[in-house]
Amino acid sequence: MENRGSGEILIKAEGVSKKFCKSLKRSLWYGMKDIGFELIGRDRNRTLRKEEFWAVKDVSFELRRGECLGLIGHNGAGKSTLLKILNGLIKPDTGRIEMRGKVGALIELGAGFNPILTGRENVFINAAVLGFDKKEIEEKFDEIVEFAELEEFIDTPVQNYSSGMKVRLGFAVAAQLEPDILIIDEVLAVGDIGFRLKCLNLLDRLIANCSVIFVSHQMPQVSRLSNQLMLLDHGKVVYTGSNVPSGIDQYYSMMSTKGLEFINTEGGVELLQIGIQNAQLTQGTLSVNHGDDLVVEIRLKISNQYANPKIHLIVFDLEQRPIGLIWPKEDIPNDKITRIDSEFSEIHLNLKTDHINLSKGIYSLTLSVTNDGERVLRISSVLTFQVLSDRDIWQPIEFESYWS
Ligand SMILES: Nc1ncnc2c1ncn2[C@@H]1O[C@H](COP(=O)(O)OP(=O)(O)OP(=O)(O)O)[C@@H](O)[C@H]1O
């Protein structure tokens, strides 16, 4: 067993499972049967019936005070369902959950607010639901409003708030009351950058004294906040433990097989070949070492009417964020263009980038060809490659740096 410090255990989940049904009609019928079974003292049906599937299957974990569990996985993996079970919004079909202390949760954005009541009224109601008494709420009220930066709007009905304003208020209530357990679902993705930074700083402070479960698709945020990680795949736990980088690695390699491909061409240009000249194959993926040169070989058939072609590559990270551009300043050398016939020529060249300083991870390249500034070909995710490095860094670029 790994040593995980002496913080008391605040959350204990054992063999938690939840199934859903794909058909609404059947699910209503099964629901009625389950209630009937419960009324006569029989267990719920624990096997899958027609059109049912496990949204969460056999999840067990413990979380101590001072620990933050990052919960990750693809869309539909079961993360939100698990959070709802932990928060008591959904009853599991099997398993047991023990939670100790006050629980703050921000799961469905703004779902906890009554739209016709003002922000002020909602703060009092929400905090009371979380288990705080009137005096505790009054003491914290100003801090909550200040954190949410909603001083001017606190007496406005919540139905007139923007979605960002609802998130601010929800997060402020859930976090400022310093609960023992804090459950948050992707909330940081909604706020603006200023609010996100504020939340991250607050979470840094809170984690020392509570247990946090945090769902996110943003791996830099997960690696910054979490000291425990759980990776779900179709409801099942694929990784759980304190080696956060290793869990994130597994998540990335699961995602790398689900590449996107989108081709947009105006005609007149055809990609004949593309590859990374200096890559090796690692478990079926093209790999280069961090700091190596990247040499991309490109062969195109292009109409002679495009007299001034330019080629560039855009580098995307696994979450499809554009993070870099490979775009040589010089024109394509004439000796790389061979005339095939009166209509077409072939361009065959290597595009070399010195010492790529991308950090460890999976990246993809989008090819773009323009003529006189107008795009004539774009192929998304034309190549996917992996950068190998010993250093676990999630920021996409590692600048070369030295003591001087
Ligand atoms: N009330 C429901 N009835 C039927 N199916 C449901 C219900 N809620 C969720 N599901 C299904 O359960 C599975 C898990 O959904 P869940 O929302 O937990 O995924 P998630 O990991 O949070 O995904 P995302 O990253 O997209 O938020 C999905 O297939 C979803 O369609």
Query: Does residue 271 lie in a domain region?
Result: yes
- Domain ranges, residue 300: 264-388
152 and 297, same domain (yes or no)? no
68-73 and 228-233 beta bridge pairing: parallel
Mean residue pLDDT across the chain: 86
Contact partners, residue 3, CB within 8 Å, separation at least 6: none
Q: In what order do the strands lie in the sheet with 337-339?
A: 269-276, 294-303, 344-353, 337-339
The Cα angle at residue 190 between residues 186 and 196, in degrees rounded to 5: 85
- Residue appearing with tokens 């964020």: 321
Q: What are phi and psi of 131, to 5 degrees?
A: 105, 15
Query: Does residue 75 lie in a domain region?
Result: yes
Domain count, the chain: 2
72 CA from centroid of ligand 1 (Å): 13
Task: Provide the 10 A C-beta neighbour count for residue 335.
Answer: 7
125 and 179, same domain (yes or no)? yes
Say how far apart CA 292 and CA 387 lie, in whole Å: 9
307 and 268, same domain (yes or no)? yes
246 and 368, same domain (yes or no)? no
Say how far apart CA 360 and CA 350 lie, in whole Å: 24
186 CA closest ligand 1 atom index: 27
Grade residue 66 by pLDDT with cuts at 50, 70 and 90: very high
Give me the pLDDT at residue 260, please.
45
Does residue 81 contact residue 56 with C-beta atoms inside 8 Å?
Answer: yes
123 and 183, same domain (yes or no)? yes
Query: What residues line ligand 1, using a CB cutoff of 6 Å?
Result: 20, 55, 73, 75-81
Listed residue (96, 75, 80) closest to 11, CA to CA: 96
172 and 290, same domain (yes or no)? no
33, amino acid identity: K
Query: Does residue 86 lie in a domain region?
Result: yes
> Quick one: 9 exposed, middle or buried, by C-beta within 10 A (0-12, 13-18, 19+)?
middle
Say how far apart CA 217 and CA 111 lie, in whole Å: 21
Does residue 171 contact residue 212 with C-beta atoms inside 8 Å?
Answer: no
Give me the pLDDT at residue 13, please.
96
238 and 291, same domain (yes or no)? no
Does residue 164 contact residue 190 with C-beta atoms inside 8 Å?
Answer: yes
Query: Does residue 399 lie in a domain region?
Result: no
Nearest-CA residue for ligand 1 atom 30 is 76
240 and 305, same domain (yes or no)? no
Higher per-residue pLDDT: 285 or 323: 323
Query: Does residue 244 lie in a domain region?
Result: yes
Does residue 67 contact residue 7 with C-beta atoms inside 8 Å?
Answer: yes
CATH number at residue 235: 3.40.50.300
35 CA from centroid of ligand 1 (Å): 22
Higher per-residue pLDDT: 152 or 34: 152
Query: Does residue 40 lie in a domain region?
Result: no
Pocket test for ligand 1, best of 81, 109, 190, 319 (most atoms within 8 A of CB): 81
367-394: pLDDT as tens digits: 999 888 888 888 888 888 999 988 887 7
239 and 280, same domain (yes or no)? no
215 CA closest ligand 1 atom index: 22
Whether the pLDDT of residue 1 is over 70: the answer is: no
274 and 314, same domain (yes or no)? yes
236 and 333, same domain (yes or no)? no
Higher per-residue pLDDT: 114 or 59: 59
Query: Does residue 22 lie in a domain region?
Result: no
Q: What is the pTM of this model?
A: 0.70
Task: Provide the 10 A C-beta neighbour count for residue 173.
Answer: 30
246 and 294, same domain (yes or no)? no
Whether the pLDDT of residue 81 is over 90: the answer is: yes
CA separation, residue 157 to residues 111, 116, 138, 144, 171 (Å): 14, 5, 20, 17, 18
Whether the pLDDT of residue 218 is over 90: the answer is: no
Higher per-residue pLDDT: 303 or 104: 303
User: What single DSSP character describes residue 358?
Assistant: B
171 CA from centroid of ligand 1 (Å): 22
CATH number at residue 312: 2.70.50.60
Give me the pLDDT at residue 98, please.
94
